[in-house]
Amino acid sequence: MKKLITKISLAFVGLTGAAFAQQDPQFTQFMFNKLIYNPGYAGTSKAICGVGQFRQQWSSFTGAPTSIAAAFDMPIPGVPLGIGLNVVSDKIGPDQTLFLRVPVAFNTEIGGGVLGIGVDAGIVQKRISADWITPEPGKTDPTIPGSYGNALNNPDLNKLTYDLGFGVMYNRANDFYIGLSSTHLPAQVLKGDGSVKFDMERHFYAMAGFRIPASPRFGIMPNLLYKSDLAAGALDANLLFSYRMSNWEAWIGPSYRLQAAAGAIVGGKYTTARGLTVRLGYSYDHTLTSLRTYAGATHEIILGFCKAPKEKKFSGSGNDRFLD
């Protein structure tokens, strides 16, 4: 089992020739936390929003992927800018990654929505522990941390460096969104002691979603996320069916990760009389790969809020500086 989780960890962190070397964490409910993928989203909802997300993948494995993400964004009053903060922690076996980024986006209204063009800057910390069992005893790789025995030991990797990203997002709140973005633009090689190193790959994202109003109460919401490192790609999709009732809305629907996993999403949101919207969601994934017989389920929980700014009331004076 230790050998198996080691191989899985290597594939995820990009130290082997996996079909898609997942260095950024993946989330099933990506449409409710767009900022961690695209800095252009900052401020486009015209509200003060925050979201927290927790994902436990392959729950039967010790050392299986565990991801936590938190994001906050808001428009800056009086200027066409949105600003935010996102923090992401990802742990897979011996590998731990921490991202902390500040996105800033130029916002302009177009066609009833907001176009955001943004950049983010911050730090990335990569840690890979040498305390693990190599997948092929007797074979060594000087670039990979590990305790190989016979006094052959590559040290831990622990590297902190800068990180940059770019994104464009068009968002028409509660109606339609589409975005293109890239993370880890510097594509740095993180070097540790000796020959130990980690290649940080650029990741590219395309996401889109919209609401189809089937009736005043019922809606259909498809969402797509395509991610690529230009060597290979992966597609996430879900289809949510929603029901509205005065100040609350609930949704349920299937999710699918191409040739990887299938599952379901359920959630809802409630809006108070003061304009505060609270969202809660849960997703369940089951892997479709050869791991399906013993990997266990994947669970993900998301909790978020949005507070729309109070609309100003205008009088016939033509000057609102003293008006609330």
Kindly report, residue by residue over 191-220, the tens digit of the pLDDT. Answer: 888 788 889 999 999 999 999 999 999 999
Angle at 249 between CA 244 and CA 253, to 5 degrees: 100
More confident residue, 171 or 2: 171
Residue 184's CB is within 10 A of a number of other CB atoms, namely: 18
CA 288 – CA 7 distance, rounded (Å): 18
pLDDT in tens, 229-241: 988 899 999 999 9
Average pLDDT score over residue span 301-313: 83
Fold of 2-307: Porin (2.40.160)
Q: What is the 3-state secondary structure (H, E, C) of the chain?
A: CHHHHHHHHHHHHCCCCCCCCCCCCCCCCHHHCHHHCCHHHCCCCCCEEEEEEEEECCCCCCCCCEEEEEEEEEEECCCCEEEEEEEEEEEECCEEEEEEEEEEEEEEEECCEEEEEEEEEEEEEEEECCCCCCCCCCCCCCCCCEECCCCCEECCEEEEEEEEEEEEEEEECCCEEEEEEEECCCCCEEECCCCCEEECCCEEEEEEEECEECCCCEEEEEEEEEEECCCCEEEEEEEEEEEEECCEEEEEEEEEECCCEEEEEEEEEEECCCCEEEEEEEEEEEECCHHHHCCCCEEEEEEEEEECCCCCCCCCCCCCCCCC
Q: Residue 316's pLDDT band (boundaries 50, 70, 90)?
A: very low
pLDDT confidence of 136, banded at 50, 70, 90?
A: low
The residues spanned by each domain of the chain are 2-307
pLDDT in tens, 29-73: 999 999 999 999 999 999 999 999 999 988 777 778 899 999 999
